[in-house]
Every structure is written in C-alpha cells, then in structure tokens.
C-alpha cells in the first residue's frame, strides 16, 4: 500500500480500478516543408482549426443545461482563442516565411503563448497556460488525423489517473464511468479543479508522481476530502473507507430534510450558518443548502476570473444579482483580497520577497485608490437594494480602520452628490486575520459593527506556516493551543463589547471542530455552501453544555496533538460519519 498526498479540490471518496492516462506528447511528423507547399499547409491549418472549433461547439451543446454558464463559458473562451484571426495569421506567417509544417508552426505559436502565461507569478493566471495546452492538443490532434478517445470503451466505473487533465477533457468525462480522478499536476485554482466540483467528481491534484506509482487496473482510493491517493490499499483500509462511505451516503440521503430546520443544539443553542461564495451564481446553492445568508463574498474572484479589473458597473450588477437572490437575508461583501500573488494583469507589481507579508488586501487597496473607490461605489450602490454588509480584509491596526471609514464616508458623500441613493448606515466590519487584532481586539470593537475571523490566514500568521507549502503543511493546524486562545480572546472581548463576531475560515466546515467552535461561543459560522447541511447535522446532534465542557478541556491542553485527540475522542456519531 502506498499513500500519496496532494491537493483536495473536489470532495468525495471513490474506490475503483485505476485507468491510467500517461503524459500525452505529440510527435510532429515533419517540421519543415517546401515553400511551394505553403498554401497547402495553410489550407490544412484552416481545416484543422474549423474541425477543432466544431468539436468544441459540439461538446458545449452536450453540456448546455447540465452546468452553469460559468463553467460552460470555459469552452467559449477556448473557442474564442482558437478562432482568433491573429492566431491563424501568426501560424500562417511561420508556414509561409519559415517553411514550417502546420503542426510545427502551431506548436511554436501556442507553445510560446503557454510559456508566457506559465511564467507569470500569479498562480491563477499561470495555471491558465493549461487552457492553451488544451487548445494546442486539440489542434494537433486534428492536424494528425487522430480521434483517440481512451475512455470511450469503458464498461464500468474507474478512477482516472493522469499527468494532468485539460479543462475540455474534464468536461468530457462521463460521470457514469468516471468515479474520480487524480493527477500529477494541477492546482486548486485551475479550471479543472473548478470543473471537478461542478461535476461532483472526487478529485485530487498536485500528487507529483501518481502516474509513476500506479499501473492500469490497480485498485486505488481517491480521497477528495483529505487530498489522498491510496494505491493498492490493504483490506483493512478498504473496509474502513467503505464503512465510512456507507455512513456518509446514509447521512447525505437525509440531509435534504435539514434544509428548513434550524442549526440548533439538542439543548436549544441556535447557531446561524452562512455561505462563503466566490461568484454571485453560488448564492442559489447556498440558499438551497439552507444558508441564513452569505457571510463571505470573496470579491477578488471577480477580478481574477477575467484577469482584469471589472468596471464599477460590472461589480454593481454582480453584487445586485447576489443581493436579489438573497432577498432579505444578509450579504457580506469583502473588498478584494488582491496583491502579493493574487493580482490582475493590469495591476501586477514587481515580485515581492515575501508576498504573504507584503502589499496585499487592504494595503493593496490603499495603493490603488481608484480601484478601491470603484469597488466601494459599486457596493454602496447595491446596498440600496439589499441587506448588504461591508467587510475589510487583513486589518492590522486601528489607523487602517480610521482610514477606510474616511474613504467610505467620502465615497458615500460623492454618490449622494450625484443623486445616487445610498443607505445611511451600511454595516461595517473587519476581518480578524492578523495576530495584532486577535491579541488586542478592544479598540476595533469600538469602531466597527461586526468582526469576522478568517482562520486560514490567522493560523498562517500566528504559527509562521505558509498554508500552501507542502514542506511545512503538517504544522498548519487549527488545533494549536495558541489558535484556540486567540479565538477565545476575540470572543470574550466581543461579548463584553456587544459586538457580533463570526468565523469564516475552513475550520468552520470541518466536522472535527464543530463542537469546539460551538463550545467556545461562536453563534455565527460561515462556510462552503456544500458543507452547510453536514455541519448543521452535527450541531443538531450535540448539546451546548457538553460542547462548552469540551472547549474548556481543550483550552487547558498544551499541544495540538492532544487537542486533536480530545476532539476525535468526543466526536458525535453524526460527525464520525462525515469524516473518512
């Protein structure tokens, strides 16, 4: 048995034979042709582009109605690139002037496009190079006359193990036959990862050596919760996973019954569950799963999705759409968390030595006042049409709060002078992500309407552990005693001040920590919409008094290992059914 660790990008577990797809390289039959053949090669190129474009259109037609336009739109982007006149002209020029074959010229041009993107420091944009490789692969297949469909003749479900899967390959997967996939390459922000979630296929990427560790037909377990690929598992491991999967299936079938029931402990403690979203289209999923509203709208994805700054109008309609979907329920909009490694092409800074501690989030907003005011204008305009709250990320000092409040007041005044309706009081809050705020939150409670604790960054900064660095990943844990005491300190201060506080990091979606968070005193949790029914089930299975005793015990322990052991020992039956 071998266990490989990667990045969990789509939840779920599957136990199936592996279907291995190796790294696909195209052999160019000839790189040069006689110049007299240029017109013939260019005609071949045109036919191949048209055929590849038709294939994309056919795939899009099959998927329309099964996925939201956001996902199918990836194919539209591929089609736009492939049929771009400049692309054809660049390839044709190499054929005509250099005597390259159509295959070689296409590979040269698209390869350079991909290399330029992959060299970009922004991980989101660099992973868009995979889309260019996807287009290149389609075009070269057509030029070579290949119609290879390795998954076409499958007779039963398999787990696909590949070096990588392009977005269109992922969209083409037959959900009836593909039970999961695992790849050597890939990242959490790739289109393939996004699509895996949309298709509901358990997926793990970034495994590094999956294709070299797996042989076709090997039994594998793809654990999309923990980011594991288990090769040739022993009988005990298979039985443990199958038992866990059966419990999860039973629980999932009854989760729909919880939609309209409160997240309330057995002794009457009410916990409000909100959804974390990246795009307005996800509001519907959050509401469907029983969310009481949106506790975190990560607006930077509006910027990263297109790689450019959306206009004020683009943002206004995005926020308005989300607010209208929610009706009277709250929509908490966090201003963009850009900078460092997450910037648009239009606002790329010189590389920083330590981007996590550099010009990101509110610091980036202050450095780009026009961009910041444009977003604030859109949010304030939308606030006249819904229950909208404004949330500011990565605050580290009270001076930053004063500065933001001044900018918000000036922007409101500016809009009113233009005759735009703006609410008198839009609730104003800050993220607690930096230890300086978690250690001394008192002055902030006097200046804001609410606080929201972002455990992802708070843990990273408090423990000096980069959360995406595989070399120190084991040190990143919410169970560290220092983290528990920081959370308790913020809760206690906010309770004395009468300031509402919520928790919106990944910790809130983990059933292992639910009892602890309830026992510490959290009444508001914001989490991935798909996790809401499961966390609600756990809450409804525990007593608040028991959770309080558990939290008190955890606060006295000196190590993360002891805290984790305590939490695991005290899991409710419902929580145990939700973890593998």
DSSP 438: H
**Nearest alpha-carbon partner for 182 in 224, 234, 131, 126:** 224
**Nearest alpha-carbon partner for 392 in 431, 363, 357, 421:** 431
DSSP 371: H
Q: What's the per-residue H, E or C state across 320-342?
A: HHHHHHHCCCCEEEECCCCECCE
Which residue is catalytic, options 78, 359, 494, 504? 504
Other C-beta atoms closer than 10 Å to the C-beta of 352 total 15
For 579, the 3-state DSSP assignment is coil
How far is the C-alpha of 474 from the C-alpha of 494, rounded, in Å? 31
Our answer to whether residue 480 is catalytic in this structure is no
Cβ-in-10-Å burial (0-12, 13-18, 19+) of 288 comes to middle
Our answer to whether residue 504 is catalytic in this structure is yes
Q: Which residue shows structure tokens 């961009």?
A: 371
DSSP 48: H
Which residue is catalytic, options 191, 359, 480, 494? 191
Helix, strand, coil % (nearest 5) of the chain? 55, 15, 30
Alpha helices, H only, 166-299:
167-172, 191-199, 210-213, 235-255, 283-288
How far is the C-alpha of 82 from the C-alpha of 46, rounded, in Å? 11
Cβ-in-10-Å burial (0-12, 13-18, 19+) of 121 comes to middle
How far is the C-alpha of 59 from the C-alpha of 170, rounded, in Å? 11
Other C-beta atoms closer than 10 Å to the C-beta of 339 total 24
Q: Cα 431 to the chain's mean position, in Å?
A: 19
Beta-bridged to residue 272, according to DSSP, are 524
Cβ-in-10-Å burial (0-12, 13-18, 19+) of 136 comes to buried
Contacts of 297 (CB under 8 A, 6+ apart): 277, 278, 319, 322, 331, 332, 333, 334
Supply the DSSP string of 4-16, one letter for each residue. Answer: EE-EEEE--EEEE
Residues carrying an active site annotation: 191, 504
């Amino acid at each position: 048995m071998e266990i490989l660790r990667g990045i969990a990008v789509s939840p779920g577990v599957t136990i199936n034979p592996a279907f291995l797809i190796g790294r696909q390289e195209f052999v160019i039959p000839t790189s040069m042709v006689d110049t007299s053949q240029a017109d013939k090669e260019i005609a071949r190129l045109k036919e191949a582009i048209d055929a590849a474009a038709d294939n994309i259109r056919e795939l899009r037609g099959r998927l329309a109605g099964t996925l939201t336009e956001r996902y199918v739109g990836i194919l539209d982007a591929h089609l736009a690139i492939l049929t771009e006149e400049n692309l054809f002209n660049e390839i044709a020029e190499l054929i005509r002037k250099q005597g390259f074959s159509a295959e070689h010229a296409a590979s040269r041009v698209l390869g350079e496009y991909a290399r330029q993107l992959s060299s970009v420091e922004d991980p989101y944009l660099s992973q868009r190079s995979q889309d260019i490789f996807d287009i290149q692969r389609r075009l070269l297949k057509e030029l070579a006359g290949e119609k290879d469909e390795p998954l076409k003749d499958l007779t039963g479900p398999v787990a696909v193990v590949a070096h990588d899967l392009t977005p269109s390959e992922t969209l083409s997967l037959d959900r009836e036959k593909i039970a999961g996939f695992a790849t050597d390459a890939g990242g959490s922000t790739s289109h393939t990862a996004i699509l895996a979630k949309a298709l509901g296929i358990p997926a793990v990427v970034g495994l590094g050596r999956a294709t070299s560790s797996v042989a076709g037909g090997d039994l594998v377990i793809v654990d999309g919760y923990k980011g594991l690929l288990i090769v040739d598992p022993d009988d005990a491991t298979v039985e443990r996973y199958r038992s866990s999967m059966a419990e999860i299936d039973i629980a999932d079938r009854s989760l729909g019954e919880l939609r309209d029931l409160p997240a309330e402990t057995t002794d009457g403690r009410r916990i409000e569950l909100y959804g974390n979203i990246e795009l307005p289209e996800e509001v519907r999923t959050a509401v469907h799963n029983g969310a009481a509203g949106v506790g975190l709208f990560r607006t930077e994805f509006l910027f990263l999705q297109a790689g450019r700054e959306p206009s004020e109008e683009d943002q206004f309609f995005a926020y308005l759409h989300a607010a209208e979907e929610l009706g009277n329920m709250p929509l908490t909009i966090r201003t963009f968390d850009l900078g460092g490694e997450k910037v648009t092409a239009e606002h790329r800074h010189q590389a920083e030595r330590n981007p996590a501690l550099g010009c990101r989030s509110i610091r980036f907003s202050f450095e780009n006042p026009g961009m910041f005011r444009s977003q604030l204008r859109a949010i304030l305009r939308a606030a006249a049409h819904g229950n909208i709250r404004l949330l500011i990320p990565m605050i580290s000092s009270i001076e930053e709060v004063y500065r933001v409040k001044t900018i918000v007041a000036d922007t409101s005044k500016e809009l009113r002078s233009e005759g735009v309706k703006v609410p008198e009081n839009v609730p104003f809050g800050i993220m607690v992500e930096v230890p300086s705020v978690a250690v001394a939150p008192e002055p902030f409670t006097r200046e804001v309407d609410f606080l929201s604790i972002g455990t992802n960054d708070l843990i990273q900064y408090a423990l000096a552990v980069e959360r995406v660095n595989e070399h120190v990943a084991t040190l990143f844990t919410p169970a560290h005693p220092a983290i528990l005491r920081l959370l308790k300190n913020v809760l206690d201060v906010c309770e004395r001040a009468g300031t509402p506080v919520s928790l919106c990091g990944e910790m809130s979606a983990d059933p292992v920590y639910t009892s602890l968070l309830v026992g510490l005193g959290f009444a508001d949790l914001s989490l991935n919409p798909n996790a809401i029914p499961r966390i609600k089930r756990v809450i409804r299975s525990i007593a608040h008094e028991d959770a309080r005793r558990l939290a008190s015990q955890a606060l006295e322990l000196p190590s993360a290992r002891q805290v984790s052991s305590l939490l695991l020992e005290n899991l409710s039956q419902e929580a145990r059914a939700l973890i593998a």
